């Protein structure tokens, strides 16, 4: 057997994964552009989830899903930080404690991410009490889209706006622009009118 016939395994080294995290960070950092990284909440299927013993039971998320169903609205993210798992971390996501990396500048944060091998991004979004709560609104899905494109023909103040309705986001072939990076199904949740909601994720690269 020649050396060319032997099976060889390839891996994506940590330095490559950290670099992908840095690229994502840099691409989505500016929240004044006509595109961006946003939270999306959606009503989910019009008929709701399957009912078991009188209660809607959300299905497990599927890797084949590419869109939130019946979006209610989109909100620019609040904070994005590089992160590493740490038993002394103060953020709990997915049953893991995380420590975020806070440099004095974006450049310093990137430098620290490289030195610490931080291939994770902690992302937080927030809905204020006055946002997306008109009427009796319930949501069953929430997720995080990157690269959502705002309809500049309808929204001239996109550089200062934080909240967008579904009709203000571009669609291609029926799908909303951008990439659904992460999502989850929940039991029907009513949008509260007396307190803000905070959502957080850790993206792994």
pLDDT tens-digit readout, 161-197: 999 999 999 999 889 999 999 999 999 999 888 889 9
Give the model's pLDDT for residue 4: 61
At residue 44, does pLDDT exceed 70?
Answer: yes
Q: Do the beta carbons of residue 145 and residue 178 sit within 8 Å? A: yes
Domain assignment of residue 1, yes or no = no
Q: Is 164 exposed, middle or buried (0-12, 13-18, 19+ CB in 10 A)?
A: buried
By residue range, what is the domain housing residue 190? 12-204
Domains contained in the chain, number: 1
Task: Report yes or no on 112 lying in a domain.
Answer: yes
Mean pLDDT over all residues of the chain? 93
Q: What is the mean pLDDT of residues 97-120?
A: 96
Q: What is the pTM of this model?
A: 0.90
Strands 175-176, 120-127: pairing is: unpaired
Q: For residue 82, give the CATH number of its domain.
A: 2.60.340
Report if residue 4 sits inside a domain.
no
Task: State whether the Cα torsion 163-106-91-13 is positive or negative.
Answer: positive
- Bigger pLDDT: 2 vs 149: 149
pLDDT of residue 3: 57
* 204: its two tokens: 């792994």
Q: pLDDT at residue 84 above 60?
A: yes
| Token reading at 122 | 């902690």
**Residue 5 forms part of a structural domain:** no
* Residue 2 counted as domain residue: no
How far is Cα 29 from Cα 37, in angstroms, rounded to an integer?
8
Other beta carbons within 10 Å of 84: 17
| Angle at which helices 106-116 and 14-28 cross, to 10° | 160
Please spell the DSSP secondary structure of 77-92, one letter per residue: -SEEEEEEE-TT-SEE
Using only C-alpha atoms, the chain has a radius of gyration, in whole angstroms, of: 19
Residue 3 lies in a domain: no
CA atoms in the 13 A half-sphere facing the CB of 15: 0
**Both tokens of residue 185?**
């199904």
Task: With respect to residue 84, please indicate whether it lies within any of the assigned structural domains.
Answer: yes
Classify residue 47: in a domain, yes or no: yes
């Amino acid at each position: 057997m020649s050396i060319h016939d032997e099976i060889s395994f390839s891996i994506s080294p940590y330095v490559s994964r950290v670099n992908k995290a840095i690229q994502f960070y840099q691409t989505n950092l500016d929240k004044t552009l006509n595109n961006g990284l946003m939270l999306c909440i959606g009503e989910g299927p019009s008929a709701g989830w399957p009912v078991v013993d009188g209660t809607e039971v959300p299905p497990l998320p599927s890797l084949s899903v590419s869109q939130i169903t019946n979006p209610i609205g989109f909100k620019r993210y609040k904070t994005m930080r590089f992160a590493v798992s740490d038993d002394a971390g103060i953020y709990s996501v997915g049953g893991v404690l995380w420590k975020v990396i806070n440099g004095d500048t974006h450049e310093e944060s990137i430098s620290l991410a490289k030195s610490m091998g931080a291939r994770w991004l902690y992302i937080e979004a927030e809905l204020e009490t006055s946002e997306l709560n008109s009427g009796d609104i319930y949501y069953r899905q929430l997720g995080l889209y990157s690269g959502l494109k705002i309809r500049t023909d309808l929204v001239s103040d996109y550089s200062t706006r934080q909240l967008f309705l579904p009709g203000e986001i571009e669609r291609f072939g029926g799908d909303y622009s951008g990439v659904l990076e992460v999502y989850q199904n929940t039991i029907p949740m009513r949008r509260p009118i007396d307190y803000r909601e905070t959502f957080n994720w850790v993206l792994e690269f």
